[in-house]
Structure 1
């Protein structure tokens, strides 16, 4: 791929034909990424060099900031040509990120049919199947033969987002699906009814988009039909949109697992103030919740005075408990996301985590207890720390598996129950367990 400086030099030397040839040989996504690296003026000039057939695909791959700039810069003719070639779902995605004045301008450049369709798509709830579907798909009739179906696809397929899966409908109701492979490998006179698959995996317009992505992953689909409340086919979700959902959901979960508010913008697109705002709320909550741990420690001042060495093991216990809880919660959250674990299996999960904690806790307790005894020659302290570790690991792993399951049960994102929150809860439990055991072993009056 040509580097940016060489390409800019071509534009400055007005060698537009050479620059056009370079862009035509690049993949659409690579072209979009390359143009985004250019300055605004250079990007606008380079985009105009892209062929009409390729321009819409490149535009749909660009980030919202660059799309906004280009739409604002386009003439009415250029804008109309772009909108004519953009797929419906890409148009809707673009409109959701554009300023209101540009949305109004775009809608004015659409015909009444497209405008009506886009308005319907924009009204579907965010994160629903309806909000990510496209209305550009191939429909066939049951009465068609393979030859008639192929002629129909050749006639209208160029304007559809996918032709690999075709949908057999009757009065707008979905009767079955036919793959391009079936059509191309069957006799011309074969009836569509004999080829269509009636065992259809479909979703409704209000189905959560995360559930849609899960079905794509589970059934290895290329496209999935979307039905309205009357059971009529109103659109399809394609694999690329499902992949975008998976990426967005993963990014959202990563943010929440790190105790931050999800953010759709990239790291450098987000201002310092916005970054701080997304992080500060959870940090405040976790900071003030940590005062509970401080209050508990203060309550056991007599234990410190009697055996000062006890204080030195607090960080190790708290860190071990937090790490054990985080391990369990991460695995449970992953299982929930993939549909491998359900709330009804909570006792099965708890029993498994309990058995794991017995093994892990025993090894950690034995190793640390032996180390402490050798280092300090104090059997009582070794017993206190070993027993505390054993109990802390058990408690931490149970908390780590229970909280995400309950969060999911009550409609809360399980990722919220990940590392920071669970660590804070486990820290409190660790201190309570540790000092209660120490008080009883050393016969300290609190």
Structure 2
């Protein structure tokens, strides 16, 4: 009987890491692989991944080392707790899983982690298990991190990751110019930056750095190291997303069904970005000003409470507001006209795959880099500009949305990039071939 590869998938416990790794796990099972998916106990309680349990994907858990009352939106706190708690427990878990696999010889033979979980590759390495990284950000973000030692040596950034001066740099001849204030660790403190440097050394244990991208989207970044392997876009068309940390409100799909084609403005800032109340008010009034149907995701916090108040003058009569929603379904709906996005990589790749024009509103980390790809390289969207007070005004929101909706060149680019990206995933496409190459390597 043929031995199937058995993967242990370990995401960092935030939505933007869990989703792509779960999608990758589902794709692996279509190739006959077996996957054990490791959640922290806290994340597992929040998600519905038990619904995925079948003979190909099994969900297991370990504690993250924090108390139930601890604030898990403090990413640094979660990272440090996991790193001090989970490594010893993981060795035991792998032993227990493998002990059950003696009869059919399906022991774990590859660990796939997302960024911040590189320590698990060290555990696997000691046990003689192969390892790979699934990068939840863009290949360009990872390429920037690869170049940190050189950037310090060339005095472009200091030892804490801060630019020595604002300038545009090119980390490789085929990568677009990058503003040094837009490097992915933008705004991080020294502890976080040191953690990234350490993590880059640890993930070198991975034979492959799998990227949720395609060669045509980021050719220069893919070329920066032989470890890079583009296998995206990882778009699984599930009926619903059972790895979501918030309950998805599917009534918005029924609402979209009643709207005219390409008429709805979709607004979502992902699972981590936080907007302040004054800026929230300006966005609400900007949507009113547009006088077009809109679908706005106003995310609750971890306790399922929405902490925003709508301005008194906000009408919202043309729109629908929900707490969380099935984004891939929304972006592929014929009613969607454009996407006001924080430009997180998952949202970016989903929007590109759906052929939807972007209005870019980045908040943190790699989102500024993704915005520059959308606006300057792929040319499938426009950026919102802040005023002299650091705010994005309601007038600016109205202006940019109307500009995108009237721009035939942007619409044409959206469709062109969509077609190129989808062609990578079909049988015989480059991403599809890379995925099969990776599975063969594990075997």
Judge same fold: TM > 0.5, yes or no.
no
Which structure is higher in strand share? 2
Q: Which has the larger radius of gyration?
A: 1
* Structure possessing the higher relative contact order (Cα contacts under 8 Å, 6 or more residues apart): 2
TM range (shorter): under 0.3
Give the structure-2-normalised TM-score: 0.24
Give the structure-1-normalised TM-score: 0.24
Which structure is higher in helix share? 1
